[in-house]
C-alpha cells in the first residue's frame, strides 16, 4: 500500500530529556528504549477524536488532550475541513515523570498523521503543532521535548520567535541513564518556582556551557561534554524537589558518568556516559542510592534515538 493510500499508522514516540543541564528550554535529546505507542487512523467524521487511552487516566476530549490539540493545529493548517483523524494512545511514559510524557503524545500524533498525509509537513512544522500540546500541558509552548521527539538525536531551539530548531550531532557512543522517582512534579509547578531574573555572571557562565556542550557534541570530545553539563541557573532551585539529588549526581560521576542533571522539570534525573558499560554502572549506583530511601523508582538505560518518532 502506498503512503498516499494509508488509512492508519502505528508509531513509537520516544521519551525525551529536556534542558540537558545548561540548556534550559533550548536543548533536548530523545531516548531509544522508552516511549509511547500510538495508532492514528483516518476517519469519515471530520475533526479529531481520541478513541482510547491505555496506561494513564487522561482526557478523551480532543480539546483537553495534548495529542488532540496538536492534531487540531495540524488540521487547521492543512486546510481540508472534511478530514477526520482518530487516535489511540498507549501511554508507556508516566505523566509528570520529567521524560516528556506530554511531548511524546503530541509529537507521536502529528508525526503519525503526517505519514497519513504523505509527509505534507516539514519536521519544523510538526514541532510547531506539537508545541500546542505543550501549551495545554504546562501553559508554555516550549519545544525542547517535542523537537527531539520528532527529529531525533540532540536538538537546539535557537529561537522561538520565529521558531528555529537545529538538529545537533549525536556521538554514537553516548548513552543515557535516567532514574524516575515515583513522585510527581508538575511542569507548571516547577516553572512557577523559577526566578524571573538572573545575575549577569551566571548568565555568562551558562552561555559558555551551552556553547561548549554543542562544540563537545560535534567534536565528540567527551571531556568537554562533561565539563559543560553544569546548570547554575535552574538546577539550584529545582534540586529541592528531588530526593538525594546532589548525592546522586556526585556518586554517579564517581561511577563513570560524564555528568547530568534534572530531566525536564523533574523528578527524573539523567546522566550521560561514554559507552554502555559506564551507563549500566551508573544505573547500579542509582539503585544503590535510591534503594534505602523508601521511594519507588524506575531506571532506564538507553542509547540516544537518532530517528525520533518512527513507524512500527
C-alpha 213, offset from chain centre: 18
Question: pLDDT (tens digit, 9 = 90+) per residue, 212-222?
Answer: 999 999 999 99
For the record, the C-alpha cell of 9 comes out as: 499508522
What is the spatial distance between Cα 123 and Cα 114, in angstroms, rounded to a whole number? 9
What is the spatial distance between Cα 259 and Cα 124, in angstroms, rounded to a whole number? 30
What is the spatial distance between Cα 281 and Cα 293, in angstroms, rounded to a whole number? 19
3-state secondary structure of 184: coil
3-169: CATH number: 3.30.230.10
Exposure of 66 by Cβ count < 10 A (0-12 exposed, 13-18 middle, 19+ buried)? buried
Domain boundaries, the chain: 3-169, 174-303
CA atoms within 13 A on the CB side of 250: 4
* Residue 226 confidence (pLDDT): 98
**Residue 134 bears catalytic tag:** yes
- Assessment of whether the complete model's pTM goes beyond 0.75: yes
Using the structure block, give the residue that is written with the C-alpha cell 529541592: 240
176 against 189, higher pLDDT: 176
Fold assignment, 174-303: Alpha-Beta Plaits (3.30.70)
DSSP letter for 162, please: T
Q: Which of 127, 106, 136, 125 is nearest to 14 (CA)?
A: 106
Question: pLDDT (tens digit, 9 = 90+) per residue, 25-59?
Answer: 999 999 999 999 999 999 999 999 999 999 999 99
Among 16, 39, 187, 235, which one carries the catalytic annotation? 187
**Residue 32 bears catalytic tag:** no
Among 37, 132, 134, 235, which one carries the catalytic annotation? 134
* Residue 2 confidence (pLDDT): 45
In sequence order, which residues have a C-beta less than 8 Å from that of residue 86 and are 6 or more positions away? 40, 41, 42, 43, 48, 49, 50, 51
Amino acid at each position: 500500500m502506498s503512503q498516499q493510500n494509508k488509512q492508519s499508522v502505528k508509531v513509537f514516540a520516544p521519551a525525551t530529556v529536556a534542558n540537558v543541564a545548561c540548556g534550559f528550554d533550548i536543548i533536548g535529546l530523545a531516548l531509544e528504549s522508552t516511549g509511547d505507542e500510538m495508532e492514528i487512523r483516518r476517519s469519515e467524521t471530520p475533526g479529531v477524536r481520541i478513541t482510547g487511552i491505555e496506561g494513564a487516566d487522561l482526557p478523551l476530549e480532543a480539546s483537553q488532550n495534548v495529542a488532540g490539540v496538536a492534531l487540531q493545529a495540524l488540521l487547521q493548517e492543512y486546510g481540508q475541513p472534511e478530514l477526520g483523524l482518530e487516535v489511540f494512545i498507549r501511554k508507556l511514559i508516566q505523566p509528570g515523570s520529567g521524560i516528556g510524557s506530554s511531548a511524546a503524545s503530541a509529537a507521536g500524533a502529528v508525526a503519525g498523521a503526517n505519514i497519513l498525509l504523505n509527509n505534507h509537513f516539514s519536521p519544523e512544522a510538526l514541532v510547531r503543532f506539537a508545541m500546542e500540546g505543550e501549551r495545554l500541558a504546562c501553559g508554555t509552548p516550549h519545544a525542547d521535548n517535542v523537537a527531539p521527539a520528532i527529529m531525533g538525536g540532540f536538538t537546539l531551539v535557537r529561537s522561538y520567535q520565529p521558531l528555529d530548531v537545529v538538529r545537533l550531532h549525536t556521538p554514537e557512543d553516548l548513552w543515557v541513564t535516567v532514574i524516575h522517582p515515583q513522585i510527581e512534579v508538575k511542569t507548571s509547578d516547577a516553572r512557577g518556582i523559577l526566578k524571573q531574573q538572573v545575575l549577569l555572571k551566571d548568565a555568562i557562565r551558562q552561555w559558555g556551557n551551552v556553547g561548549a556542550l554543542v562544540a563537545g557534541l560535534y567534536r565528540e570530545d567527551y571531556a568537554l561534554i562533561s565539563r559543560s553539563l553544569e546548570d547554575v541557573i535552574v538546577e539550584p532551585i529545582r534540586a529541592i524537589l528531588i530526593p538525594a539529588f546532589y548525592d546522586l549526581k556526585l556518586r554517579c560521576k564517581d561511577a563513570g558518568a560524564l555528568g547530568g542533571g534534572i530531566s525536564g522539570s523533574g523528578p527524573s534525573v539523567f546522566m550521560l556516559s561514554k559507552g554502555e558499560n559506564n551507563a549500566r554502572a551508573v544505573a547500579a549506583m542509582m539503585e544503590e542510592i535510591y534503594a534505602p530511601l523508601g521511594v519507588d523508582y524506575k531506571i532506564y538505560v538507553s542509547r540516544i534515538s537518532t530517528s525520533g518518532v518512527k513507524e512500527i
